[in-house]
Amino acid sequence: MDVIVFGAGSLGSLIGGLLARVHDVTLVGRDPHVETVAADGLSVDGEFDLRVAPDATTALPGDATADLAIVTVKAADTDAAAAALADCDLGSALSLQNGMGNERTLAARLDCPVLAGTCTYGALLAEPGRVTCTGVGEVTLGPPEGGESDRADDVGAAFSAAGIETTVAPDMPRRLWEKLAVNAGINATTALARVENGALVDGPGHGVASAAARETARAAQAAGVDLSPGDAVAAVERVADATAANTSSMHQDVLAERATEVDAINGYVADRADNAPVNRTLADLLRTWERARELR
């Protein structure tokens, strides 16, 4: 399969690197990472130990062709990614991003079916040309509105052939909310406390992450999605344990002094739940930090 990975940061490079074992992959990202991958290849270490040679570029030609485009950019950059992919000839697109509504943003511009996906692998861009897998998680994917599709089956088979733990799921709306609960619980808490995901398995951080996840479940229920507070907390516990050594993507953003995905995660929940004081507080603290750093 010809695959474009649009957004070759830590997660995009990990998924692209694993896929490149059996597929023709083009990574689209930023220098100096892209320059290094194009010249010397990509190393994937941590839970894996492999070296692959995907194509790598900072700008995709407008008429690029691929069976699949995987979008892994930050939620705030989805529209720009859709614009860059709009004139490409694509079989399908798959969002593997944090936050809600990315599939809709992509579908508004792309002339191909768009699949929804979640990913709980832990990834860290250790240096240009080297990505570390800090936890083996799972990819789930399927039609964003739920149900089954041959395209989702084909993409799932392509991921599985590359050794990526993959489930093709008929209930993506619920899974997207469950992943939102995981991100609402883990990302902001680890970013503010400057700890790895495993620090939330127990202790005071577990209480904060669990409360944020329970509020997310209530927002899901208000949106008509059947996610129980107990299942949302269990998902946070499972992912914190499986990715214990990982620096969450929001924690990585704070360390690199980059804008975070807080609006698409805790801010999104706080705006949709009747009463979500934990998500509101986490969102306001991160927004305060972003303002002080002139990132918003």
Q: Report the run of H or E that residue 42 belongs to, with start and end.
A: strand 42-46
Q: Report the run of H or E that residue 95 belongs to, with start and end.
A: strand 89-95
Rounded CA separation 193/196 (Å):
9
Contact (Cβ atoms closer than 8 angstroms) between residue 15 and residue 23: no
Contact (Cβ atoms closer than 8 angstroms) between residue 34 and residue 11: no
Shortest distance, position 103 Cβ to ligand KPL, whole Å = 17
Sign of CA dihedral 58, 61, 62, 67: negative
Beta bridge partners of 119: 139
Please report whether residue 249 would count as binding ligand KPL according to CB under 6 A. yes
Shortest distance, position 123 Cβ to ligand KPL, whole Å = 8
Rounded CA separation 259/4 (Å):
25
Shortest distance, position 267 Cβ to ligand KPL, whole Å = 15
Q: How many residues bind ligand KPL (CB under 6 A)?
A: 13
Sign of CA dihedral 282, 284, 287, 293: negative
Sign of CA dihedral 266, 271, 274, 280: positive
Tokens of 86: 């709009």
User: Which residue stretch of 23-31, 154-162, 181-189, 214-222 sits at the interface with ligand KPL (rule: CB under 6 A)?
Assistant: 181-189
Please report whether residue 78 would count as binding ligand KPL according to CB under 6 A. no
User: Which residue stretch of 21-29, 43-51, 88-96, 178-186 sits at the interface with ligand KPL (rule: CB under 6 A)?
Assistant: 178-186
Near ligand KPL by CB under 6 A: residue from 187, 189, 216, 279 = 187
Please report whether residue 216 would count as binding ligand KPL according to CB under 6 A. no
Residue 93-112 contact track with ligand KPL, rule CB under 6 A, x = bound: -----x--------------
Near ligand KPL by CB under 6 A: residue from 4, 164, 186, 273 = 186
Tokens of 28: 């689209």
Shortest distance, position 207 Cβ to ligand KPL, whole Å = 18
Contact (Cβ atoms closer than 8 angstroms) between residue 214 and residue 177: no
Please report whether residue 182 would count as binding ligand KPL according to CB under 6 A. yes
Would you call 179 a catalytic residue per the annotation? yes
Near ligand KPL by CB under 6 A: residue from 97, 102, 183, 216 = 183
**Three-state secondary structure readout of 117-130:** EEECCEEEEEECCE
Please report whether residue 266 would count as binding ligand KPL according to CB under 6 A. no
Which is nearer to ligand KPL, 110 or 283 (by Cβ)?
283
User: Which residue stretch of 77-85, 159-167, 182-190, 208-216 sits at the interface with ligand KPL (rule: CB under 6 A)?
Assistant: 182-190
Q: Which of 74, 130, 179, 251 is labelled catalytic?
A: 179
Shortest distance, position 237 Cβ to ligand KPL, whole Å = 12
Please report whether residue 279 would count as binding ligand KPL according to CB under 6 A. no
CB atoms within 10 A of CB 216: 35
Sign of CA dihedral 132, 162, 1, 106: negative
Please report whether residue 248 would count as binding ligand KPL according to CB under 6 A. yes
Q: Any idea which residues carry the catalytic annotation? A: 179
